[in-house]
Structures are given as structure tokens and as C-alpha cells.
């Protein structure tokens, strides 16, 4: 420690980046801790999983982001412990990190809700590695099917969860099957393959306006997706999903997009946790009885004002926390976090998306889709990534092709 106020930020997601950037001119030293050396643009993970984009299109090196920020350092390591009394963070590498202020922005992990078989027999979609695993699994399944004279349900897919991730995944898979794999594998019965979306509540995109939810479901059905709503999942076996009503959906690929819970780091604080294991915070996003500890984004919840687990609360929360740290250093009181709802969006594929904007404005169809494209390009980090994604989208749109469908060599 060199005597300057040290801020340790756990997590380099949307919230963590905004905290560090917001403190660029502050008289503090910052250490960013993340298990990976890159920031992931999670809203486009499904496009990696469906071969529309490659991994380096949606990921950006953390050190590159903070290369010119002299008061920021990066430690690539997993957090193994947090001691609030001693004000230290222990990681898998190096000595414990001492902190004056701690910001926890570690996000979420996939949650199986205690349903039997989910962990062992489904493919989650929460990380770059998850997205690549889904893409490789689908492509490998098709390759194996070319040697199989009796093809059953191997090419079928069940997507569990009808939120934005599940809807976008189902729509992306439909385009991949219909526009690309049908042509790549002319000897396989690709047109007979079933893609099924299962949602426990009575409609998909349950947080959206009902008219947009209905529009999204109708579009999915028009594009060949079997949509099952109002039916919880009872269990998952190898190659099959058992529904509460007794139906059994057999499939070679089962994607789990049904829910998340706070990352394990939340439990390391030893403070009170809310629903989904989220860290309970006050109105200024600090942890009660620990004013020098903040939690933001998906890993945090203010019980009096719960916010959706999407990018904007993390982005705005990160900016807010950076300001509060500076206010405390100046001897001022912290302020209440004032969240501005900027709306919600979900795409169902080519020329189709739904968007719910502030002021009650609703967009759908091609206009909603263009708005979705523009917003996601805007929030991507790095000019190279924006250019790559734009070129890939243009190529996919004009050629009906998906370029990112290479299988990595293995020792098998």
C-alpha cells in the first residue's frame, strides 16, 4: 500500500467497468479482479452459440480497456475469500489484496432451481465458454448424425426458459438450422428437426408488455419453434426434458436459459442475502453496516426497489458508485441511487425484435430489429469489435450464412 485510497473492484462486467472508468481522475488506486482477462458483452452470447459471431467479436481484453488509465491495475484470478474486518480479498494468485473500498460486481451464474438433472444434462448460457460449448455441441451432433442411419431426436433442441435469452436463443437456432445447416447437411432431415421453447409461466418475455410478448411468441411459432408456456420443468434426463404435466421432450441438445443466481462471491461477504443469493444493499448501493462496501448489478438487490437483472442497472450503478466513492473521499454524504429505466429489448431473429421504451413507446418488427442492432453496436467495447460485428451481421444478412461454425480440433 502506498498510502493512497485503494479501491478493489471484483468483476469486469458492465458495472465493474463503469466504476473503474468513473474513478479515472480520482486520487485512488484501483485493482480490478476477474477470473478472466476479458470483458464479455453478454447480450450477444447467444450469437456465438448459434455461429453468428465469434468469441473475440463480443469479448475485449481488460488490460486493453484500462491501458491508458494509470490508477488502474488488473489481477486475473478467482476470488476465494473476503474478510470485511481486515479489509482484504483473497484470490487464487498472489498475496491478499487490501482495500479501503470494495465494490462487488461479480454478476450471476446459472441457477438450476433444484430441478433434478439440470446441472448434468443441460448446456447453460452464461459465459463465452458456455456459448462455444453449445455451438460445438450442435455442430458435433450434426457431424455424428451423418454416420447414423436411424436418426431420432438427435437433431432436436429444447430451450428451457422463455426470457430474452431463451427467446433469442430459440430464434437464433431456428435461423441456423433453416438457413445454414439445412444446406450444409443435405442428406439429413434438418427440416424435420424440432426446436422447442419451454416457459414455466403463461407467456414468454414475461417482463415485457403483454402485446409485445404475444408478438414475440407468434413470431417464434411462425418460424417453426414449438412454444410451450405455463408448464414447469419437472426434471431433465440425458437427452430428454420431463414436464410437470407428464410430457417428455426428447432432444439431442438441451439449453438451460431458465434462471440465474448471484455468483458465489456474494456468500463470501458474510452479509445478509436476498432472493437468488443477491447481496442486500441500501439506497446508495452500499452494504448495510459496511459503508465502504458496495454491490452493483445482478449480484445486488435493494429489497425496497428491486431492479431487473439486465445491463442498465449495472451500468448506471457503476457510475453512481464511482461518484459516491469520490463524495466520501471529499467528506460528503452519499446519495440515493436514482435508476432510469431505458427500456427492454429482445430479438427473435432476422427483421424481428420487440422493444419497450420509456414513455410507453413500443417497437416491433423491422423497426424494433434495427433499434436492437443499433443499441447493441453502441454498447460494444472497442471500435474493432463494433466493426467486426457490423461486418458479420451484414454478411449474415446478405448471404444467409454463418461464418463462425468451425469445430476446434480435439484429441478425440
11-28: average pLDDT: 97
Crossing angle (nearest 10°) for helices 365-379 and 383-399: 150
CB 271 within 8 A of CB 290: yes
- pLDDT of res. 149: 81
- pLDDT of res. 72: 97
- pLDDT of res. 259: 86
pLDDT digits (tens, 9 = 90+) for 277-307: 999 999 999 999 999 999 999 999 999 999 9
- pLDDT of res. 410: 61
pLDDT digits (tens, 9 = 90+) for 158-180: 999 999 999 999 999 999 999 99
Residue 411 has pLDDT above 70, yes or no: no
CB 163 within 8 A of CB 206: yes
Residue 336: closest CA among 348, 326, 321, 346? 321
Measured distance CA(72)–CA(66) in Å, rounded: 7
Given 95, 154, 168, 267, the catalytic residue = 168
Give me the DSSP letters along 137-200: HHHHHHHHHTT-SS--STT-EEEE--SHHHHHHHHHHHHIIIIIIHHH-TTS-GGG--EEEE-S
Give the CA distances from residue 265 to residues 33, 62, 156, 174, in Å, rounded to whole numbers and listed in that order: 12, 20, 36, 36
pLDDT digits (tens, 9 = 90+) for 197-247: 999 999 999 999 999 999 999 999 999 999 999 999 999 999 999 999 999
Strands laid side by side in the 79-83 sheet: 79-83, 88-91, 97-98
Residues contacting 90, CB < 8 A, separation 6+: 79, 80, 81, 82, 83, 96, 97
Q: What is the pTM of this model?
A: 0.94
pLDDT digits (tens, 9 = 90+) for 99-118: 999 999 999 999 999 999 99
Residue 14 has pLDDT above 60, yes or no: yes
- pLDDT of res. 412: 52
Q: What is the dihedral of CA 263, 5, 72, 333, to 10 degrees?
A: 70
CB 131 within 8 A of CB 49: yes
Note the residue count of the chain: 412
50-55: average pLDDT: 95
Indicate if 199 belongs to the active site: no
Q: Which three cell numbers stand for residue 50?
A: 448459434
Measured distance CA(119)–CA(112) in Å, rounded: 7
Measured distance CA(228)–CA(245) in Å, rounded: 11
CA terminus-to-terminus distance, the chain: 49
Give the CA distances from residue 55 to residues 41, 51, 76, 78, 127, in Å, rounded to whole numbers and listed in that order: 10, 10, 19, 21, 10
Mean pLDDT of the chain: 95
Measured distance CA(250)–CA(237) in Å, rounded: 9
- pLDDT of res. 270: 95
CB 134 within 8 A of CB 49: yes
CB atoms within 10 A of CB 229: 16
Task: With H, G, I as helix, E, B as strand and everything else as coil, classify residue 89.
Answer: strand
Task: With H, G, I as helix, E, B as strand and everything else as coil, classify residue 76.
Answer: strand
Amino acid at each position: 500500500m502506498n498510502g493512497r485510497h485503494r479501491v478493489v473492484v471484483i468483476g469486469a462486467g458492465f458495472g465493474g467497468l463503469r466504476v473503474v472508468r468513473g474513478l479515472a481522475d480520482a486520487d485512488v488506486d484501483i485493482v480490478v479482479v476477474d477470473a478472466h482477462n476479458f470483458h464479455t458483452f453478454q447480450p450477444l452470447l447467444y450469437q456465438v452459440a448459434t455461429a453468428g459471431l465469434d468469441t473475440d467479436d463480443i469479448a475485449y481484453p481488460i488490460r486493453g480497456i484500462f491501458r491508458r488509465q494509470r490508477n488502474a491495475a488488473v489481477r486475473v484470478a478467482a476470488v476465494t475469500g473476503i474478510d470485511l474486518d481486515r479489509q482484504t480479498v483473497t484470490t487464487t494468485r498472489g498475496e491478499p489484496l487490501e482495500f479501503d473500498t470494495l465494490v462487488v460486481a461479480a454478476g450471476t451464474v446459472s441457477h438450476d432451481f433444484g430441478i433434478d438433472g439440470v446441472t448434468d444434462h443441460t448446456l447453460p448460457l452464461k459465459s463465452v465458454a458456455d456459448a462455444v460449448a453449445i455451438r460445438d455441441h450442435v455442430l458435433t451432433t450434426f457431424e455424428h448424425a451423418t454416420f447414423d442411419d436411424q436418426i431420432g431426436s438427435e437433431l432436436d433442441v429444447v430451450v428451457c426458459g422463455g426470457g430474452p435469452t431463451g427467446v433469442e436463443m430459440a430464434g437464433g437456432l431456428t435461423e441456423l438450422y433453416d438457413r445454414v445447416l439445412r444446406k450444409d447437411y443435405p442428406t439429413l432431415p434438418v427440416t424435420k428437426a424440432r426446436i422447442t421453447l419451454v416457459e414455466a409461466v403463461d407467456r414468454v418475455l414475461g417482463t415485457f408488455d403483454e402485446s409485445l410478448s404475444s408478438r414475440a411468441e407468434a413470431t417464434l411459432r411462425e418460424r417453426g419453434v414449438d412454444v410451450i408456456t405455463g408448464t414447469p420443468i419437472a426434471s431433465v434426463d440425458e437427452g430428454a426434458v420431463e414436464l410437470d404435466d407428464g410430457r417428455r421432450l426428447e432432444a439431442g441438445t438441451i439449453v438451460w436459459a431458465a434462471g440465474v443466481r448471484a455468483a458465489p462471491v456474494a456468500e463470501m461477504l458474510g452479509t445478509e442475502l436476498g432472493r437468488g443469493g443477491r447481496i442486500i444493499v441500501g439506497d446508495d448501493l452500499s452494504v448495510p453496516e459496511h459503508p465502504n462496501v458496495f454491490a452493483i448489478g445482478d449480484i445486488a438487490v435493494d429489497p425496497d426497489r428491486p431492479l431487473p437483472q439486465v445491463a442498465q442497472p449495472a451500468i448506471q450503478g457503476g457510475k453512481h458508485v464511482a461518484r459516491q466513492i469520490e463524495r466520501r473521499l471529499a467528506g460528503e454524504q452519499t446519495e440515493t441511487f436514482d435508476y432510469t429505466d431505458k427500456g427492454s429489448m429482445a430479438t427473435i431473429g432476422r427483421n424481428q425484435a420487440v422493444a419497450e421504451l420509456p414513455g410507453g413507446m413500443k417497437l416491433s418488427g423491422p423497426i424494433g430489429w434495427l433499434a436492437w442492432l443499433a443499441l447493441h453496436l453502441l454498447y460494444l467495447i472497442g471500435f474493432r469489435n463494433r466493426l467486426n460485428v457490423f461486418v458479420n451481421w451484414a454478411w449474415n444478412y446478405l448471404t444467409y450464412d454463418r461464418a463462425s461454425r468451425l469445430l476446434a480440433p480435439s484429441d478425440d
